[in-house]
């Protein structure tokens, strides 16, 4: 074929941009619709069944970060005979042709491709060949996944292309792909290998060599022992998790997207750990400031009927009525006291005033506030938070106290974190995080001070957990227990059903990420870069300084664009007022954030407000 020829009496060839061995690829003009396209000749006319499989796989992924397939042309005879894919015109070249890039930029691209992979996996397709050459860049810098020739159906050893064996690129393939058994998380591994390449310039640290050495490298791929040891900066933690040898220990595509967003700075530690985006409004600093929105509410009647679909959950039960596993050191998640794992006295040497705050954030956390220059000055926040899911995998814990492993998380700016590893099978679905927020520490020892404090908090928590394990009991319960009218007893995921979530394009209502105690719930779109986060929060009464004041479902509400970071809109709905342990006014809040870079701020806030109104309407009246 040559420039100027017509394919199918419709597409005029303009420029040959690739001839991969799998088929030539051209920029072309669609003379019927007057638009530019990309044409790929994928095989002879006799390969129609294979090409249809490839086309159907790509067509299933209608997503902003997947190259759009316009159609398929089957041409029986002539110089243009064969099977042609007609695709979106993308002119920026592939990542293969890009110079090495900063880790943060690579992480942003990776997060977008991870969202595309999540959409593929939700539709039962594994790409199997994620690599720099298969990610192309549009004129405005948008990355898009392409080339589905190697795609496979989920849960099957059958390729989308029925007469072709599984194909892959060894430098980027996961061990299970080389061994013939790809799974969706194989694409997560390949994505990480691709990002390592675009940051370091090489897909791995093995030496290039002759054929026998290439065979050795493929064996190393199959065993998951390729070396990748170069500095990848803030990407290091995400890549370590995504490149784990065992597929079941890697994050799925959605989890990989979140890790990469954090590495790119798009999801701060504050958002990961459930902090509101604005600074803490501590009672001592702001008790007299602003006009509160809350009015006193009288407690009215019991409403336990609401707690479960069957109406048989009671305060004191575990999420969804599930009983704690025998041998669990955590026990009932809803009655366990996070503050039992803290000891404010351990931090006296870091400040002139130290206090414990039980009434801030979600119910899964406890904070110790350390004031280096007195209670009216800046503070350092030491937080203990519980989460669902296991702690991050590490070759070995840094240290162990009472049988509890402690892992050092990668440092991020003026922040330091530790993760605790619970060794018992009964607590396999729980992780505990220690997080220390910089704030005032810059002038009082810097990050080293933060990490010293994180180590002290981790040791204190581990000793408490270890003692409970040794005595074969659970850690202490909340004292006093939460009142019957508290949001603590309500399952957050039941506030939004599939019908309510229909307003979010492509959201998978049936597969939320459920947090510890069922106090937070996240849903993800399989077609757009958008996430719905619903959780509970505790704070001081809101004021007009927090955003636009309104009322939803008869409750005082504040709508705040950009409150949880760029491309977000947060809606906070006040539920009930109560006195905290210092006698100050506090409120329980419904806290909904919509996060998406494909929508305008107005569109995000319109959707977030509608969802928050629906969720608020499901709350019982008190």
DSSP-assigned letter for residue 175 = H
The tokens 């459920």 sit on which residue?
514
Phi and psi torsions of 453, nearest 5°: -65, -40
Tell me how far the alpha carbon of residue 47 is from its chain's centroid. Answer: 39
Q: Which 3 state secondary structure label does DSSP give 43?
A: strand
State the number of CA atoms in the 13 A half-sphere of 62 facing the CB.
4
Cβ–Cβ < 8 Å for 464, 329: no
Catalytic residue among 9, 19, 129, 248: 129
**H/E element, 556:** strand 555-561
Q: Which two tokens stand for residue 399?
A: 């240290």
Residue owning tokens 């894919």: 85
Q: Are 159 and 99 in contact (CB under 8 A)?
A: no
Whole-angstrom distance, CA of residue 249 vs CA of residue 394: 11
How far apart (Å, rounded) are the C-alpha atoms in residues 373 and 404?
Answer: 34
User: Distance between CA atoms of 263 and 65, rounded to whole angstroms?
Assistant: 19
Determine contact, residues 299/285, Cβ cutoff 8 Å: no
Is the backbone of residue 604 left (phi > 0), alpha (psi -120 to 50) or beta? alpha
Q: Which helix (H) or strand (E) holds 572?
A: strand 568-579
Residue in 589, 552, 550 with CA at minimum distance from that of residue 560: 550
Closest CA to 274 of 612, 567, 546, 592: 592
Handedness of CA 555, 556, 562, 563 (dihedral sign): negative
Beta bridge partners of 25: 18, 40
255/246 Cα distance (integer angstroms): 16
Angle between helices 103-122 and 253-264 (to 10 degrees): 160
- How many Cα atoms within 13 Å fall on the side-chain side of residue 145? 35
Kindly write down the DSSP assignment for every residue of 44-111, as one continuous string: -GGGHHHHHHHHHHHHT---TTBPPEEEEEEE-SSTT-EEEEEEE---S-BGGGSPP--HHHHHHHHH
Q: How far apart are CA 282 and CA 375, in angstroms?
A: 10
* Number of Cβ atoms within 10 Å of the Cβ of 602: 10
Residue 129 is a catalytic residue: yes
Cβ-contact 237, 411 below 8 angstroms: no
Q: E strand or H helix at 617, and its extent? A: helix 601-618
Catalytic positions: 129
């Amino acid at each position: 074929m040559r420039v100027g020829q017509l394919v199918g009496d419709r597409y005029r060839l303009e420029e040959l941009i690739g001839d991969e061995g799998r088929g030539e690829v051209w920029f072309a003009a669609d003379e019927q619709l007057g638009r530019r396209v990309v044409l790929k000749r994928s095989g002879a006319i006799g390969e129609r069944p294979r090409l249809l499989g490839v086309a159907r796989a790509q067509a299933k992924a209608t997503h902003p970060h997947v190259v759009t397939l316009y159609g398929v042309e089957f041409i029986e005879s002539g110089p243009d005979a064969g099977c042609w894919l007609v695709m979106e015109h993308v002119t920026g070249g592939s990542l293969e042709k890009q110079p090495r890039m900063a880790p943060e930029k690579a992480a942003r691209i990776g997060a977008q491709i991870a969202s595309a992979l999540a959409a593929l996996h939700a539709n039962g397709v594994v790409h199997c060949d994620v690599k720099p050459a298969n990610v192309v860049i549009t004129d405005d810098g948008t990355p898009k996944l392409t080339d589905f020739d190697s795609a496979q159906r989920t849960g099957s050893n059958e390729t989308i292309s029925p007469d072709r064996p599984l194909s892959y690129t060894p430098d980027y393939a996961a061990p299970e792909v080389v061994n013939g058994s790809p799974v969706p998380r194989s694409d997560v591994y390949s994505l990480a290998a691709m990002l390592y390449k675009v940051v370091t310039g090489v897909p791995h640290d093995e030496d290039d060599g002759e054929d026998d050495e290439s065979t050795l490298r493929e064996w190393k791929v199959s065993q998951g022992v390729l070396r990748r040891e170069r500095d990848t900066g803030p990407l290091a933690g995400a890549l370590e998790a995504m490149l784990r040898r065992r597929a079941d220990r890697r994050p799925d595509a959605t989890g990989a997207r979140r890790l990469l967003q954090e590495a790119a700075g798009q999801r701060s530690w504050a958002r990961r750990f459930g902090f509101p985006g604005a600074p803490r409004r501590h009672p001592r600093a702001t008790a007299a400031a602003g006009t509160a929105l809350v009015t006193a509410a009288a407690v009215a009647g019991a409403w336990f009927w609401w707690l479960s679909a069957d109406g048989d959950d009671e305060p004191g039960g575990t999420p969804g009525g599930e009983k704690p596993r025998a041998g669990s050191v955590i026990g009932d998640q809803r009655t366990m006291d996070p503050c039992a794992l803290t000891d404010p006295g351990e931090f006296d040497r870091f400040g002139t005033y130290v206090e414990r705050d039980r009434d801030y954030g979600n119910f899964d956390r406890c904070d110790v506030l350390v004031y280096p220059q007195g209670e009216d000055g800046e503070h350092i926040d030491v937080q203990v938070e519980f989460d669902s899911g296991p702690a991050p995998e590490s070759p070995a814990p840094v240290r162990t106290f009472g049988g509890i492993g402690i892992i050092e998380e990668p440092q991020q700016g003026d922040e330091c974190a530790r993760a605790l590893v619970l060794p018992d099978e009964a607590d396999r679905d729980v992780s505990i995080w220690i997080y220390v927020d910089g704030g005032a520490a810059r002038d009082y020892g810097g990050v080293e001070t933060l990490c010293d404090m994180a180590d002290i908090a981790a040791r204190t928590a581990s000793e408490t957990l270890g003692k409970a394990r040794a005595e074969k009991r659970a850690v202490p319960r909340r004292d006093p227990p939460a009142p019957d009218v508290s949001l603590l007893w309500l399952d957050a995921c039941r506030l939004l059903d599939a019908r309510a979530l229909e307003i979010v394009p492509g959201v998978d209502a049936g597969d939320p990420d459920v947090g510890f105690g069922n106090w937070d719930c996240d849903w993800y779109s399989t077609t757009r870069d958008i996430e719905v986060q619903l959780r509970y929060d505790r704070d001081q009464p809101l004021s007009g300084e927090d955003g636009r004041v309104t009322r939803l479902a008869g409750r005082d509400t504040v709508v705040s664009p950009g409150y949880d970071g760029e491309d977000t809109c947060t809606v906070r709905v006040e539920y009930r007022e109560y006195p905290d342990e210092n006698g100050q006014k506090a409120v329980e809040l419904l806290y909904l954030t919509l996060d998406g870079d494909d929508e305008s701020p107005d569109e995000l806030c319109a959707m977030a407000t509608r969802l928050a109104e629906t969720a608020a309407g499901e709350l019982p009246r008190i």
